[in-house]
Structure 1
């Protein structure tokens, strides 16, 4: 649970930066980098206090320690120079783990105001790595300001929708979990928390099981900035060496042969101008990113594998050949349920209408029907403010999806696959 003092500090850091860095994503990156910088120094100090030696800020890098940059004899412009130099050189520091070096990749100080930097670092100094159990929630709060990745059509998925999908798909402690467009790792963390919750908060897991559990999570993202934020988010949630890869899921073949048990994703909706030029291993030949991502996810499930995917309306009813071929493939071998979400779930960033596709290779083969669930209210108003409201169909939707019983509800019904196929376009509107 995010405590108010930590929340206040994060808000304060953002308020200090907003005049110099208007872009929320860049604000989040600067706070992220500063926090990790501070935590490395905390770990060094802790090691010294316990009779050991500093390991991160030693040799040529000792002058960049957090303690050193807080030397009161350093003037404002010297502080700017020292801190900016430290950010740019930290990814070459041989004394720090690869995880931290990755976080500092391409890091730099984007403003030159010594007073802002001094106030900002003073606020960061109030955070301590000894509070790391609180920092996971704090970092998730910080990431909530990002909202959207501009023209990529990738919108930050609301936490309650992520958690709903994790509940439905229900990953287990011994299963591999992938997000092939992981953004800031929200789905991975939700799945991890779901597994812990189902094992008495993790108390039922042996140390070996917990270690294997953490190793079972994998994320890909094409953006180095998103990779950086994912690494930090997972690290602050107890992942010492997160398996996050800077990887173009749609055009690279390097990991094509890797399959997993569970995939959770909200892949980008927008296709770059001119389309995407994927390799030829996709079952559906297309150049639209949303078609290719859904194809990729379906094809990379193990036998008995499961997935939950947020998709735009085009996937549901677009009539061109690639969309129809994808829907036919899903209905034949993968799809067991479709959850329609209300337009406005992604407000204030977008009013786009979306649905959740639920894939299960075993369930799909065992049933000749598909379950359609319609969520009209998700517990929040659908305007720009997204204020809490009393109406919420998600608990009932979860109950229906877990039981498969659509007889006693107005929000769900089963449709035979043969009826869907009759029209020839395999429309998934239900």
Structure 2
């Protein structure tokens, strides 16, 4: 979490953007991201140069040719005159960033495609100088600090969500990715990718758990070109998402402009082996343009239900999904709610329901959510569904989201990886298995409270006679005390 002086410095720069005439939070984040990206490119060049000095060669990218070395962050930030800095950014640095994506490591990138209509909009030399000074003091080699900075910037996107969109906290993304454990053979999709947080975390997981995969030429090509797929209909989000992936070493992910629920998005049926997503819960919906195929599956205007139907369509047979849904999906009483839950349980394989505490999306929403894990089979397969009631995600559940010592998330992952040990867990525990027959008997209700048993402690109360005797004794003591006080006061 960003705290203290660093947080105050970012807030001051944010205020400077607003006073300088940029009031759109997404635009602020986009402009800051360009500068973060420039600094990251310089770090890549430094790493390559170190390898050349050590080994005499390098396979690492070197974004800055000799003729462009004056555009490197280390040179750029040292420009003492802010007016000269602003002119350099306008006339050379930003055009360089726009064109860079057309050829990185000898290949075309989606970053380049999304940068073609990008604009540099920092309005003044003074503001640019402030932003550069702030970013120069951040330890970019510390991935956690870098991620916390970006998360704090993204937290300013809205105070109550925009079109039902909510930034997914990094630790929740990491939990979902670790539970799904993507492999180098997967094709992963997020049909509402935003800033590509899920895809980025999945790429890091594969790098960490399967380091040998990128050595093989074919697997490396799959990793960079056909493993990660993200769709959104906000061009700024697409640029930020593309830069995120490129900065994390994925050269050409499939990140495209698309309204995933629209009729024009048909054609991807059965293409992906894994879906990781936090789709919009209550966004605006053009019902006339919504895919008729999805409407045939579930007749509704609720985006969260339509997205679940979409996920089932996009997955290959045997493909798996981990998606965040509002609690209403678990127990909603409409025909569409019930039919979708029935499909997950009867026609496919519902694996788990992880209930999240209602403060996870604070400070901008107290919405209550859960993570659904399911496998597309088309032929059933649900036996026991694993439930976990998360009480703490490691942060306070108020608007401050202060880090806490205790978190249930490590226990969630450990128990998920050892489900055989859950067979004997009582329904009074945080996690337990529920047979399919019990879920069917409850009308496919997936609310954990429907199955969790609450044990009431037996408390022995004193008799009324004893309590009245104590009251009389206390009254006598008060009367004596008042009488003594009167004597003292004369």
TM over 0.5: yes
The 1:260/1:270 distance shift into structure 2, 3 A limit, reads: same
Of 281, 285, 289, 2:293 maps to 281
The 1:295/1:40 distance shift into structure 2, 3 A limit, reads: same
What SS does the corresponding residue of 1:295 show, helix, strand or coil? helix
State the distance in 2 between where 1:225 and 1:87 align. 19
Q: Hey, what does 2:208 align to over in structure 1?
A: 197
Contact (CA 8 Å) 1:262, 1:306: kept in 2 or not?
Answer: yes
What SS does the corresponding residue of 1:264 show, helix, strand or coil? strand
Query: In the TM superposition, what is the alpha-carbon distance from 1:191 to its structure 2 partner?
Result: 1.9
Contact (CA 8 Å) 1:55, 1:96: kept in 2 or not?
Answer: no
The 1:12/1:309 distance shift into structure 2, 3 A limit, reads: same
The 1:111/1:398 distance shift into structure 2, 3 A limit, reads: closer
> After superposition, where does 1:239-254 map in structure 2 within 5 Å?
239-251=250-262, 252-254=264-266
Query: In the TM superposition, what is the alpha-carbon distance from 1:371 to its structure 2 partner?
Result: 2.2
How large is the Cα RMSD of the aligned pairs? 4.0
State the distance in 2 between where 1:156 and 1:281 align. 28
> After superposition, where does 1:313-328 map in structure 2 within 5 Å?
313-328=327-342
Contact (CA 8 Å) 2:258, 2:265: kept in 1 or not?
Answer: no
Scaled by the length of structure 1, what TM-score is found?
0.80
What SS does the corresponding residue of 1:144 show, helix, strand or coil? helix
- The total of aligned residue pairs comes to 416
Query: In the TM superposition, what is the alpha-carbon distance from 1:87 to its structure 2 partner?
Result: 7.9
State the distance in 2 between where 1:176 and 1:269 align. 25
Scaled by the length of structure 2, what TM-score is found?
0.72
Of 212, 222, 229, 1:212 maps to 222
Q: Hey, what does 1:266 align to over in structure 2?
A: 278
Q: Hey, what does 2:191 align to over in structure 1?
A: 180
Query: In the TM superposition, what is the alpha-carbon distance from 1:46 to its structure 2 partner?
Result: 11
Q: Hey, what does 2:243 align to over in structure 1?
A: 232
Q: Which has the larger radius of gyration?
A: 2
Of 334, 338, 345, 1:331 maps to 345
Of 407, 419, 422, 2:438 maps to 419
State the distance in 2 between where 1:136 and 1:40 align. 15
What SS does the corresponding residue of 1:415 show, helix, strand or coil? strand
Contact (CA 8 Å) 1:103, 1:232: kept in 2 or not?
Answer: no
Matched, 1:19 2:38: no
Query: In the TM superposition, what is the alpha-carbon distance from 1:229 to its structure 2 partner?
Result: 1.2
State the distance in 2 between where 1:301 and 1:62 align. 45
Contact (CA 8 Å) 1:298, 1:359: kept in 2 or not?
Answer: no
Contact (CA 8 Å) 1:400, 1:406: kept in 2 or not?
Answer: no
Contact (CA 8 Å) 2:2, 2:149: kept in 1 or not?
Answer: no
Cα deviation code 1:43-91 (max 9, x no counterpart): 89999999xxx987999x9998989988979783x76566446688668
Contact (CA 8 Å) 1:103, 1:228: kept in 2 or not?
Answer: yes
Contact (CA 8 Å) 2:266, 2:291: kept in 1 or not?
Answer: no
Task: Identify unmatched segments of 5+ residues in structure 1.
Answer: none
Cα deviation code 1:273-320 (max 9, x no counterpart): 665741112222322211111111122221211110010012111112
Q: Hey, what does 2:326 align to over in structure 1?
A: 312
State the distance in 1 between where 2:180 and 2:282 align. 25
Cα deviation code 1:389-427 (max 9, x no counterpart): 243222332233223224236112333333333454x22
